[in-house]
Amino acid sequence: MDDLSDEERDCLSANIAWLERTDPDDWHRVALDFNWSEPLYLLDWIVRRAECDVATALTIFWKGEPGYWIADGSRLADKPNGFSYLNKHMCAYIATRIGEGGYSRSKIAYAPDTWTKKDYVDLAARAAQLEKPKFGVHPDLIRDRTGYPVANDAAFYARYPDAFHRSFFCELPAETPKARALIDRVQQIEKATSHLLPSWLRR
């Protein structure tokens, strides 16, 4: 964590102390809140907890763009830091731990969308081309997980200290007809492109 200032290090320590007093559902909400332009030490702390839910690990894995790190060829990731270097190692850690069945908690629902499934197909194809991929690619990285939904809401932000917010979107906007129409259009596009996936990945 040498790339952090004293102030950033103190904030990270305080955020981790707060997380230690909460539960894995709130860890999932923090992962959803996270702004990936920030150092990733907090996410790394979450995915390495014994109690971390597999849905949380998968959410972080796919947000980390693992296809960029599978070849382990980026010069940006050679020097230890809280960005590219940690992102690469975090993706490898999650993929390996999931492959070994290491995330025993599976209470949160997880359903990857069509674009994430396409990312999986591309990731698997890329791994097959490599002599020594950085991590293994297997179906457990993309399959649905049953459970209850966990999402950010006003109640979470009421108890999550302002100093720890990482997202630009921590204000929860009220749904408007225009926003609903946009969401519906995105869902229509997703449904229309699902036929491009292998049959076992279609819903």
Q: Is the pLDDT at 48 greater than 90, yes or no?
A: yes
Please give the Cα distance from 185 to 2 (Å, whole number): 45
Q: Is the pLDDT at 168 greater than 60, yes or no?
A: no
Amino acid 24: pLDDT: 97
Please give the Cα distance from 106 to 52 (Å, whole number): 9
Report the predicted TM-score, pTM, of the whole model to 2 decimal places: 0.83
Domain range summary for the chain, segments of one domain joined by +: 6-171
Q: Which of 115, 68, 59, 112 is nearest to 87 (CA)?
A: 68
Average pLDDT over the chain reads 85
Q: Which tokens hold the place of 187?
A: 């869902």
Amino acid 180: pLDDT: 61
Amino acid 171: pLDDT: 47
Q: Which of 45, 27, 92 is nearest to 64 (CA)?
A: 92
Q: Is the pLDDT at 49 greater than 70, yes or no?
A: yes
| Neighbour tally for 175: CB within 10 Å | 9
pLDDT tens sequence across 107-142: 999 999 888 998 999 999 999 999 889 999 999 999
Amino acid 163: pLDDT: 85
How far is residue 41 CA from its own chain's centroid? 13
For residue 96, name the pLDDT band (cuts at 50, 70, 90).
very high
